[in-house]
A = this chain, B = another copy of it.
């Protein structure tokens, strides 16, 4: 391979820039020309593609977001769109592609590969950590720490007023952010999509207070919990928790941004380099991931179709630690 390109797609995640930097500098190191594609698959279709050098990725490792910008592309879901994309690559002589993103990104890549046999390797960039094939996704650690810092702040005011706070964190299909930020924040209860917590349990836990000295409580709710988000949960419990001062806080989009943590910069760099070197070494239609601290490649199909289970010992720990 003489020319490769890279894009970021789907929701942005802190560490994507570190990953991009590693792809570009890795390519230069191996004597390969590197191109950046803006706005994900949309930019690919429209030819928003430009050559990148080492200095193009200078001073970006500490930046949140993605300098290539990101988008969700409806056109790439059409045969016509993918054809244009392929032509753009051919016209420039680009022989391989690194895509940084999540589920949707890899689904698109997989279809594209089937149709055109074009070599693509992925790097997992999403704050949700819900991708099979890697222990950690790029952006997850930062999102957890951002949520945690917010929980710490909210606990100050919860303590000062003896309140119960229901804090909603991101995670439409996955409780990873909720579990980690909840344990880190000393939450009394954590509600996630993967397990069912009945409203009766919530009321029992909060009403009784096994530790009778506790006057304030934090409940962390993943936005995709089967009982609904934090607001819905409070609506369901408030009539049965009379006399308690219940508040809701929805952390929202700030969980996506911010300077990446050390871990996200490092795994971003490792996975960017792994995706690039995988691609150069002949891998295709696969995602580079880190499992047990080693780089592993898993087919896009498997990444997309396999559910990643929550760690059961963390769920067990919540009960013990809030005793």
Residues of chain A whose beta carbon lies under 8 Å from any beta carbon of chain B: 8, 11-12, 14, 21-22, 25-26, 28-29, 54-55, 58-59, 61-66, 69-71, 135, 141, 144-146, 148, 150, 152-157, 159-162, 165, 180-181, 183-186, 211, 213-214, 247-259, 261-263, 265-266, 269-270, 273, 292-293, 311, 313-314, 317, 320-323
Per a CB cutoff under 8 Å, which of B22, B247, B253 touches A157?
A: B253
Closest to A67 in B: B160
Contacts of A153 in B (CB 8 A): 64, 146, 253-258
Write the nearest CB–CB distance from A20 to chain B, whole angstroms: 12
Complex copy number for this chain: 4
Per a CB cutoff under 8 Å, which of B28, B65, B156 touches A159?
A: B65
Write the nearest CB–CB distance from A73 to chain B, whole angstroms: 12
Contacts of A29 in B (CB 8 A): 320, 323
Q: By the criterion CB–CB under 8 Å, are A320 and B25 in contact? A: yes
Contacts of A14 in B (CB 8 A): 156
Q: Can you show 6 pairs from A to B with CB atoms below 8 A apart?
A: A12-B161, A62-B186, A183-B269, A184-B262, A269-B321, A273-B317
Provide the bound-state CA to CA distance between A293 and B293, in Å: 9
Closest to A152 in B: B62
Q: By the criterion CB–CB under 8 Å, are A145 and B262 in contact? A: yes
Provide the bound-state CA to CA distance between A26 and B144, in Å: 24
Provide the bound-state CA to CA distance between A255 and B247, in Å: 14
Contacts of A259 in B (CB 8 A): 152
Contacts of A293 in B (CB 8 A): 135, 292, 311
Contacts of A154 in B (CB 8 A): 253-254, 256-257
Q: By the criterion CB–CB under 8 Å, are A159 and B59 in contact? A: yes
* Most chain B beta-carbon contacts within 10 A, residue among A11, A59, A156, A251: A156
Provide the bound-state CA to CA distance between A54 and B141, in Å: 29
Contacts of A69 in B (CB 8 A): 159-162
Per a CB cutoff under 8 Å, which of B58, B214, B263 touches A214?
A: B58
Provide the bound-state CA to CA distance between A154 and B258, in Å: 8
Q: By the criterion CB–CB under 8 Å, are B135 and A55 in contact? A: no
Query: Given that A71-B161, A273-B317 are contacting pairs, would A156 and B12 also be in contact in the complex, using a CB cutoff of 8 Å?
Result: yes
Per a CB cutoff under 8 Å, which of B55, B71, B255 touches A213?
A: B55
Q: By the criterion CB–CB under 8 Å, are B273 and A320 in contact? A: yes
Q: By the criterion CB–CB under 8 Å, are A66 and B135 in contact? A: no
Contacts of A165 in B (CB 8 A): 253
Provide the bound-state CA to CA distance between A250 and B254, in Å: 10
